[in-house]
Amino acid sequence: MSQLFTPAAFRGLTLRNRLVVAPMCQYSAKGGLASDYHFAHYARFALGGFGAVIVEATAVSPEGRITYGDLGLWSDDHVAPLARIAAFLRTQGTAAGIQLAHAGRKASSPIWWRGRFDETEEEKAQVGFESWTPVAPSALPQVPDSAEYQVPTALTAQGMSTVRSAFVAAARRAEAAGFDFVELHSAHGYLLHQFLSPVANRRDDEFGGSLANRMRFPLWIARAVREVWPAHKPLFVRISAQDGIEGGWTVEDSVTYAKALKEIGADLIDVSSGGFAGGRIPVGPGYQVPLSRAIKHEADVPTSAVGLISRAREAQEIVKDGDADLVALGRTALDDPNWPLHARHELEAPGDAYAAWPRQSGYVVRHKDQALRLRSFAEA
């Protein structure tokens, strides 16, 4: 069996393989509620053979949404539609995860495929348009003098306590919805990353200045979530390993942060990068894999690699070489929800990879391939 398709265990959870669908915002919720669209969107990845699916950034409070179209988990009303998704994923042997998030100063921004606020008055009612003033570590906007990003309000001690309580409540609701693991969003220029990076954190209290101070609030959140999240269920944390900005957050900082998260009880670090305006990070196939390798080996913690990984043998080598424990696919999964099934044919031929397909379709795909002399039948 290919190493990519060996099980991976984290606490009481065992993933059937090493392939994960990365959390990808759909900006298609109204009032934070998951809809039939979200169910269909996530269900296809379970049918496609992924070991785990992480539901997109789900706001722990209304003001924590990136856009008005984000999913939410600040109310008990959000639990049932998310529970429906988690339950279906498990029926297909796929672990269900959810990313808990707060956008901080990047909140109340435009829907990404719009790029700007161009909703008509009639459309605003249909899509559930809302606008609000974001909060952040410091009163610094994501982009100065921007129509898309507001100047945030700097969080007070009481405000930070409120955010912590929101993460705790959301984690409890994630458990009520039946998720197998949660992932804290501590990357991509959102609130927890804003506290970590001197790019966004200019505080002069115990939550700003030194690296230890800047890590204090994110670690406070992580510790609080770990305390209420069931002990047998894993906690993942997504980080941006570097800002790509001079004087910003670095890989060395990330190693220190990852070690502290491990001590708290985090089970895996999901390694990404960037998130602040002006960041310069060279992009190419598997461009973040070296970051995962550094965190995994220097912090001695399991990692997930992500970022323009699209070829089966590339993903296989990442696991085989010890660069990561899991491989997360984002845009590649959107392009091909059946990617794990297709990869299995490539990596494990001439074995019976058709058995990995859902029983309702595997046998007819096999007959199709046999008739057309495809895959394992190509040389027959």
pLDDT tens sequence across 211-235 = 999 999 999 999 999 999 999 999 9
State residue 170's pLDDT score. 98
Q: HEC string of the chain? A: CCHHHCCEEECCEEECCCEEECCCCCCCCECCECCHHHHHHHHHHHHCCCCEEEEEEEECCHHHCCCCCCEECCCHHHHHHHHHHHHHHHHCCCEEEEEEECCHHHCCCCCCCCCCCCCCHHHHHHHCCCCCCCEECCCCCCCCCCCCCCCCEECCHHHHHHHHHHHHHHHHHHHHCCCCEEEEEECCCCHHHHHHCCCCCCCCCCCCCCHHHHHHHHHHHHHHHHHHCCCCCCEEEEEECCCCCCCCCCHHHHHHHHHHHHHHCCCEEEEECCCCCCCCCCCCCCCCHHHHHHHHHHHCCCEEEECCCCCHHHHHHHHHCCCCCEEEECHHHHHCCCHHHHHHHHHHCCCCHHHHCCCCCHHHHHHHHHHHCCHHHCCC
Predicted structure pTM score:
0.96
Residue 351 above 80 pLDDT? Answer: no
- pLDDT tens by residue, 160-192: 999 999 999 999 999 999 999 999 999 999 999
- pLDDT tens by residue, 362-379: 999 999 999 999 988 886
Q: How many CB atoms lie within 10 A of CB 19?
A: 29
Distances (CA, A) of 45 to 39, 205, 315, 338: 11, 45, 17, 7
Strand partners, 13: 10
Mean pLDDT along residues 181-210: 98
Residue 129 above 70 pLDDT? Answer: yes
Q: How many CB atoms lie within 10 A of CB 116?
A: 10
Distances (CA, A) of 111 to 29, 40, 131, 144, 200: 11, 21, 12, 19, 22
State residue 378's pLDDT score. 84
Pairing between β-strand 303-306 and β-strand 13-15 as defined by DSSP bridges: unpaired
Cα–Cα distance, 352 to 263 (Å, whole number) = 42
Rounded percentage of the chain residues whose pLDDT exceeds 90: 94
Q: Is 129 exposed, middle or buried (0-12, 13-18, 19+ CB in 10 A)?
A: middle
- pLDDT tens by residue, 81-97: 999 999 999 999 999 99
Mean pLDDT along residues 95-102: 98
Tokens 């009880």 locate to 265
- pLDDT tens by residue, 284-338: 999 999 999 999 999 999 999 999 999 999 999 999 999 999 999 999 999 999 9
Residue 239 above 90 pLDDT? Answer: yes
State residue 115's pLDDT score. 87
- pLDDT tens by residue, 246-297: 999 999 999 999 999 999 999 999 999 999 999 999 999 999 999 999 999 9
State residue 377's pLDDT score. 87
Q: Which domains are delineated in the chain?
A: 3-348 (3.20.20.70), 355-380 (no CATH)
Pairing between β-strand 135-136 and β-strand 95-101 as defined by DSSP bridges: unpaired
Q: How many CB atoms lie within 10 A of CB 114?
A: 13
Cα–Cα distance, 243 to 62 (Å, whole number) = 27
State residue 380's pLDDT score. 54
Two structure tokens written together for 116? 């700007």
Residues in the chain: 380
> Across all residues in the chain, what is the average pLDDT?
96
Contact criterion met (CB below 8 Å) for 239 and 227: no
Contact criterion met (CB below 8 Å) for 50 and 340: yes
Cα–Cα distance, 63 to 57 (Å, whole number) = 13
Mean pLDDT along residues 330-358: 92
Among all residues, which ones are annotated catalytic? 190
Two structure tokens written together for 273? 């990068």
Nearest in space to 32 (alpha carbons), one of 71, 79, 80, 83: 71
